[in-house]
């Protein structure tokens, strides 16, 4: 049965996390690709599409970016705002409750990023959608679940349509419009509840929109 990543799913997911259940992501550090892929960029405006618990948005804000962080889950946003109040630069953060399959920010950004976000639409179409929010000369950063046998996500097994590979993502970025900077696939391990090792199969794509 195909998982429906709708608002009810994500509210339950984050409420379970608050209760300390498996799949809790609220206390995780920002993923390691963020610093690597943005360290050479000049801070400006950024959009975090599907910000979840806010780790990446808070990290960017603490490094001088003005961040709009959007997520469908009010529970996730509440936890992110709590975390930002003590760990980040809240004056440079704007939290927006939004269904990213239909919402539009009404602006373009110097950086548009997404980290493991699963909206209620096919994953590659979601990446197409957010790519349109990147300003000329700006950066698109996609970190997602790699579509491999046995792939696991943060406490769930994403279906094939919710996963991607570096090749399937970059194939959708027109070479006349985009310069591909990074197209990598990685395996890393997180420590889950009870000290359990949780393998993550990741795909990382960074592209610069040509002026």
Residue 128 predicted with pLDDT over 70: yes
pLDDT (tens digit, 9 = 90+) per residue, 58-115?
999 999 999 999 999 888 898 889 889 887 678 999 999 999 999 999 999 999 999 9
Is the pLDDT at 17 greater than 80, yes or no?
no
pLDDT score at 142: 97
- Closest by Cα among 193, 190, 157 to 21: 193
Report how far residue 59's alpha carbon sits from residue 34's, in angstroms, rounded to the nearest whole number. Answer: 9
Least confident of 44-48, 115-119, 144-148, 151-155: 151-155
Strands 66-71 and 93-97: parallel
Higher-confidence residue: 107 or 158? 107
Distance CA 166, CA 153 (A): 17
Instruction: Give the sheet arrangement for strand 45-49, strand by strand.
Output: 93-97, 66-71, 45-49, 109-115, 134-145, 197-209, 178-191
Predicted pLDDT of residue 21: 36
Provide φ and ψ at 83, rounded to 5°.
-65, -40
Q: Which residue in 40, 31, 25, 46 sits closest to 93, CA to CA?
A: 46
Tokens matching residue 183: 């197209």
Q: Which residue has the higher pLDDT, 85 or 129?
A: 129
Q: Which two tokens stand for residue 34?
A: 């963020």
Q: How far apart are CA 198 and CA 189, in angstroms?
A: 5
Asked if pLDDT for residue 20 goes beyond 70, the answer is no
* DSSP-derived secondary structure for 99-123: -TTT---SS-EEEEEEES---SS-H
Q: Is 50 helix (H, G, I), strand (E, B) or coil?
A: coil
Percentage of the chain lying above the pLDDT 90 cut = 56
Is 166 in contact with 100 (CB distance < 8 Å)?
Answer: no
Averaged pLDDT score across all residues of the chain: 84
Coil vs helix vs strand at 60: helix
Residue 161 has pLDDT above 70, yes or no: no
Residue range 44-209, CATH number: 3.40.50.150
The 10 Å CB-count burial string (b at 16+, else e) for 15-24 is eebeeeeebb
């Amino acid at each position: 049965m195909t998982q429906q990543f709708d608002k009810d799913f994500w509210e339950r997911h984050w409420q379970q996390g608050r209760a300390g259940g498996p799949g809790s992501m609220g206390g995780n550090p920002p993923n390691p690709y963020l610093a690597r892929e943005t360290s050479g960029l000049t801070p400006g405006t950024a959009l975090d599409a599907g910000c979840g618990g806010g780790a990446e948005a808070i990290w960017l804000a603490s490094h001088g970016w003005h961040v709009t962080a959007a997520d469908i889950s009010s529970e996730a946003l509440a936890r992110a705002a709590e975390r930002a109040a003590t760990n980040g630069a809240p004056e440079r953060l704007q939290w927006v409750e939004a269904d990213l399959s239909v919402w539009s920010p009404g602006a373009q950004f110097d950086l548009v990023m997404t980290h493991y976000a699963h909206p209620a639409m096919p994953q590659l179409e979601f990446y197409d959608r957010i790519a349109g929010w990147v300003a000329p000369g700006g950066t698109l950063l996609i970190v997602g679940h790699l579509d491999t046998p046995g792939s696991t996500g943060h406490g769930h097994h994403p279906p094939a349509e919710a996963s991607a590979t570096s090749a399937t993502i970059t194939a959708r970025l027109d070479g006349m419009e985009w310069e591909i900077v990074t197209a990598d696939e990685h395996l890393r391990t997180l420590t889950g509840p009870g000290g359990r090792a949780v393998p993550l199969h990741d795909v990382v794509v960074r592209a610069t929109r040509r002026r």
